[in-house]
Every structure is written in structure tokens, then in C-alpha cells.
Amino acid sequence: MQVEAKTTGLKTENLKDHSLAALRERFARDGIARYHADQVAGWLYQRGVEDPRHMTDLSMDLREQLAGSWISSALEVAGHARSVDGTLKLLLRAHDGAVVEAVLIPEEQRTTLCVSTQVGCPLACSFCATGALGFTRNLSTAEIVDQLCRAREFLAPDQRISNVVFMGMGEPLLNLPAVSEAIRLLVDPKAFAMAPRRITVSTSGVVPKIRPLLELAPVNLAVSLHATTNAVRDELVPLNRRFPLEQLLGALRDEEQVNRRRPVFFEYTLIEGVNDTPGDARRLVGLLRGIPSKVNAIPMNAHPDSGYRAPKLEVMERFTAIVHEAGLRVTLRKNRGDDIDAACGQLAARGGRGESEEPGPRSLSGGPLEPGGRVVKSQG
């Protein structure tokens, strides 16, 4: 689909930059009745119609007024690549030329979209391809929700995005205002109408922003832990020097919004010779004591920007077995989309192998998509 020209002149505001409550207020300031915001949201988010001229339950005058002074899309598809396992990576270009990635992961029971929140990332984790890019800018709310709008154009008519994970490029909690407004749209019954528990926000540990996020909506929180000592975590996640383990875990332990029904998902990327010993597993169990949690162990995805690699399978299984035997819920994730650089931490907007430069949606196939195979070993 065509994206309007760069935002210049009067047309500077994007309809998708506002939650419904904010759009109602914004319309009221322009002398437009508030309920028209609800109608517009229905077209944008439920019916996928972006051109106000086609919003047929609005008056002709209002359609022209909106088309003349607002833009309504933020990203265009610049390329896509599909993995043998069905994972689809989208390269999406913003009006200023910035490119971000979103990854659509079809599984038997659900279809998950992994969204980006920043162009690059300022936190420079040593094992992450996005971190190696450096930081360009935050994404706007419109650019975050447009990842859903573009991705769903690739789905078959009977498919829908059931889950959203904020685990693409960037650190969501360093862009909380735009992320919050996007979450409001995701959960609004008049916009994307998703249940908050189907949304997961991953952070590398921006401690002061965790409570504001959890108070916004009962979404899931994932915390990228990756290490059990400050010395190792300082190396892997430099943000640890600002918010060390005891501060991060202390904040989570004190957090009222975290409970057994709403545990923290701890991401633990297993890296050979760095954080994969039985001692690490035992320290992890000790650190998480008192915090309702689930541990997601993820094999390190190798990429050219780091020399790290995943441990052998038996080493990873020994690690998860120790954690499991101590009574914690733990899964060892199998990487999806590895062949197209769409797995965790491989998102660097440089295009995967087999990339199509042809823009434009294409149905992902007729029947149900390949079942996951995501979890190679699930415990608890």
C-alpha cells in the first residue's frame, strides 16, 4: 500500500498517534464531535481502512476535513522474508526512511507479532544485534501500532494476531509514553480489542519505569536477566551498571502487580562459557526466590556482531533441569526464524537471506500454519 508523502505543511498529525480518549479530546479541540473518534478508530483498527475518504459513516465534509489535515499510516512494507518454520519477518519503512522490523510468528494455537519500539537501541547489550546498531530514535505510537496494521495484511482471512510481544528492536521502557499509548489502543475494545494478558512487554531492566507500565494495564512483564552475577550482567547488559541485579530484583519482589497469576517472565539467553554452568542455574534459583516467575531460557542466536554462541543442547538441558528441580517453571525455547535472522536479538534491519524486495502483502498460505515446535523442552 502507498504511504503518504513525508509529513510537511499542515498534515503533520497522525490519527494513530492517539489513544481513543486522546483522539476524542483532540477532535473536540477542532470542533469535531467526540464520538467521531470512535467511528474513526473502528475504521482504522477493526476494519483496516486508513483513508478517511472511505470512512462512509462520516459526513462528506468531515471525511474531507480529516483527509486534508491528518495522515493515517506511518509505515510501509519495504521487504519481507519467510522462514521455513512459517515465521515472517517484515521490514517496515517510516516516512523519514528509518527501517524497523516486526516478526509474525504463527503457531497452532496463536499468532504472535513481535514489535519494535525504537530504531536501534541505546543500551548496547553485547550479545544483541540491535544493540550493535546504536540508537537512531524512538518510534511514535502510530509507528508501533502500524506494525500490526501492516502485518495483518499478510494473514489469511481466518487468521488474526492473537498476541503481541514488545520484543523487537529497542527498549520499550525507554519509550514509555509512545508504548503506553500503543498499549491503550491494543486493549481498547473499540480499537484492537486485545486482552492485556495477550500482550507482553520485555525490558532489560529500566527499573523506575516498571511500575508505571504495570499500572497502565495488566500486561505481562518480561525481564531480560541473562546473568546471575553483576560482573557477568555488567558485560552482557550494560544497563546493569545503573540498575544492578539487587535493585532490579528488589523492585520486582516489592511489586504488588506481580503475583502468581501475573508472574514475571525472566528471559535468560544461554551463552556458551558465559552464563551456562550448574552454578549459574543454582544462583538463578536463589535470586528469583520470592518473585512469582517463569524462566524462558533462550539459546544464544549467533550473529556477525558478536562472538557468542549457544551452549550444546545437553548443557542447556542440564541448566533448565536444575532450575526445574528447584521448583521453578522453566522452558527452553527453540529459535524460530533463525534462517531469516528473525530470531530474538537478530533484528538489525539489514535484511535476511532470501529477502523479497517486493513490497506487498501475500497470504501466508491456505490452511493452518505449521505448528510451533517452539518449545523443545517444556517443564512445569
- Which residues are identified as catalytic? 101, 344
Q: Which amino acid appears at position 86 of this protein? A: G
**Residue 87 lies near ligand SAH (rule: CB under 6 A):** no
Burial of 34 per CB tally in 10 Å (0-12, 13-18, 19+): middle
Closest CB to ligand SAH among residues 82, 303 = 303
Kindly state whether residue 269 participates in binding ligand SAH, applying the rule CB under 6 A.
Answer: yes
Smaller CB separation from ligand SAH, 303 or 324: 303
Nearer to ligand SAH, 149 or 298 (CB): 298
Residue 70: beta bridge partners? 13
Cell numbers that stand for 341 in this block: 535472522
Candidates 12-20, 88-96, 242-250, 295-303 — which segment interacts with ligand SAH by CB under 6 A?
295-303
Which residue from 17, 146, 267, 276 is in contact with ligand SAH, where contact means CB under 6 A?
267
- Cβ closer to ligand SF4: 228 or 240? 240
| Cα 164–Cα 96–Cα 303 angle in degrees, nearest 5 | 55
β-sheet bridge partners, residue 332: 297, 377
Query: With CB under 6 A as the contact rule, which of the stretches 209-217, 285-293, 294-302, 354-362 interacts with ligand SAH?
Result: 294-302
Interaction residues for ligand SAH, span 300-359 (CB under 6 A): 300-301, 303, 344-345
Q: Which stretch binds ligand SAH (CB under 6 A): 5-13, 47-55, 79-87, 198-206?
A: 198-206
Query: Is 275 a binder of ligand SAH (CB under 6 A)?
Result: no
Q: Does 161 bind ligand SAH (CB under 6 A)?
A: no
The upper half-sphere exposure of residue 26, i.e. CA atoms within 13 Å in the direction of its Cβ, equals: 17
**Rounded to whole angstroms, how far apart are CA atoms 16 and 34?**
16
227 forms part of the interface with ligand SAH (CB under 6 A):
no
Nearest to 115 by CA among 96, 135, 140, 97: 140
Q: How far is the CB of 84 from ligand SAH (least distance, A)?
A: 19
Alpha carbon separation from 105 to 45, 82, 143, 264, 298 (Å, rounded):
20, 10, 20, 22, 16
Q: Tell me the residue number closest to ligand SF4, measured at CB.
A: 131
Q: How far is the CB of 317 from ligand SF4 (least distance, A)?
A: 24
* Percent composition of the chain: helix, strand, coil (DSSP 3-state, to 5): 35, 20, 45
Q: Which residue has the cell 486508513?
A: 50
Task: Give the range of 2-10, 87-95, 183-191, 299-307 binding ligand SAH by CB under 6 A.
Answer: 299-307
Kindly tell me which of 63 and 309 has the beta carbon lying closer to ligand SAH: 309
CA-CA distances (angstroms) from residue 104 to 79, 101, 356? 14, 10, 16
Antiparallel, parallel or unpaired: β 88-94 and 99-106: antiparallel
Tell me how far apart the alpha carbons of residues 333 and 105 are, in angstroms, rounded to a whole number.
Answer: 14
Q: Pick one of 27, 127, 265, 266: the residue that binds ligand SAH (CB under 6 A).
A: 127
Instruction: Choose between 311 and 345: whose C-beta lies nearer to ligand SAH.
Output: 345
* Residue 49 amino acid letter: V
- Grid cell digits, residue 322: 536444575
Count residues near ligand SAH (CB under 6 A). 16
Which residues in this chain contact ligand SAH in the complex, by CB under 6 A? 127-128, 167, 171, 202-204, 224, 267, 269, 298, 300-301, 303, 344-345
